[in-house]
Structure 1
Amino acid sequence: MGKALVVYGSTTGNTETVAQVVAKTLEGEGMEVVLKDVAGVKPGGLADGYDLVLFGCSTWGDDEIELQEDFIPLYDGLDAAGLSGKKVAVFGCGDSSYTHFCGAVDAIMEKASELGAKVVDLPLKIDGTPDEAEARTWAKNVL
């Protein structure tokens, strides 16, 4: 069915949990999946060899959108990742009491689209504790 890359940045563990659920769901649907913590990736050629790239990032900040700290270098270098023509989906966890609820998800999705990625499905934005059923359903819809 294809090969997917799931890259996530997580501080509290919520986005990591969602990334694991998404990866397992995609595998269950027949995809070969590589799951990576963003702290261990470099932007250059990141998407090479993958049919689908999923980015997961939590959001911080009330006055402005702040990406999860380990995700910032990837975001800043996303133009080198080779996203043009690739299917991309974005997910993240946040807190709806903040002004920019899951704003990192929107920022990543917008940048990927500007770089020529084919953004598939709506982004998954989870408020607070991850809902694993919601993550599984979203992952299946991404396919």
Structure 2
Amino acid sequence: MSKTLIVYGSTTGNTESVSDDIAKILEKNGHSVEIQDAADISVDGLADQFDTVLLGCSTWGEDEIELQDDFIPLFENLEQAALKGKKVAVFGCGDSSYEYFCGAVDVIEEKAGELGAVLLGESLKIDGDPEPEEVSAWTESIMTKM
């Protein structure tokens, strides 16, 4: 059975809700899932006991890409998370009226790739309120690669 860690940073609750929805779909399909709020975790060896790591972060800021506050320490120390060779996917919520729509997703995905993570496919970028069908379709697509 595949062990998956979902780590999210959420201010309004949307990214947390998406994390819960992803976990339910994975568990329904036989995966063991642990969900952690980025505010409550230690980065050191974060991925050690997991086959797959899903990272969720909302994006803030009009003039530059700003990660959700709780996710910043994780991002800044991501090299300590032991992502090399791990299957990783990234998701996040944002607002397409901003110049850097879901820019946090892009920078997290790029850094994970630079650290040797195996990216599972296209990231999930949610515009506004999460739609269950969108989350479900994305989760099912990455599940085929887990």
Question: Smaller-chain TM-score range?
Answer: over 0.9
CA–CA separation in structure 1 for the residues paired with 2:43 and 2:10: 18
**TM-score between the two structures when normalised by the length of structure 2:** 0.96
* TM alignment of 1:1-40, pairs within 5 A: 1-40=1-40
Which ranges of structure 1 fall in alignment gaps of 5 or more residues? Answer: none
Q: Percent identity?
A: 59
RMSD in angstroms over aligned alpha carbons? 0.6
CA–CA separation in structure 2 for the residues paired with 1:49 and 1:141: 23
Q: CA deviation at 1:133?
A: 1.4
**TM-score between the two structures when normalised by the length of structure 1:** 0.98
Q: Which whole-Å deviations, capped at 9, do the CAs of 1:20-61 have from their partners, x for residues lacking one?
A: 000111111110000111100111000011010000000001
User: What residue in structure 2 maps to residue 56 of structure 1?
Assistant: 56
Q: Secondary structure at the match of 1:54?
A: strand
4+ residue segments displaced more than 4 Å: none
Which ranges of structure 2 fall in alignment gaps of 5 or more residues? Answer: none
CA–CA separation in structure 1 for the residues paired with 2:105 and 2:121: 13
CA–CA separation in structure 2 for the residues paired with 1:137 and 1:6: 17
User: What residue in structure 1 maps to residue 109 of structure 2?
Assistant: 109
User: What residue in structure 1 maps to residue 92 of structure 2?
Assistant: 92
1:72 aligns with 2:72: yes
Q: Secondary structure at the match of 2:136?
A: helix
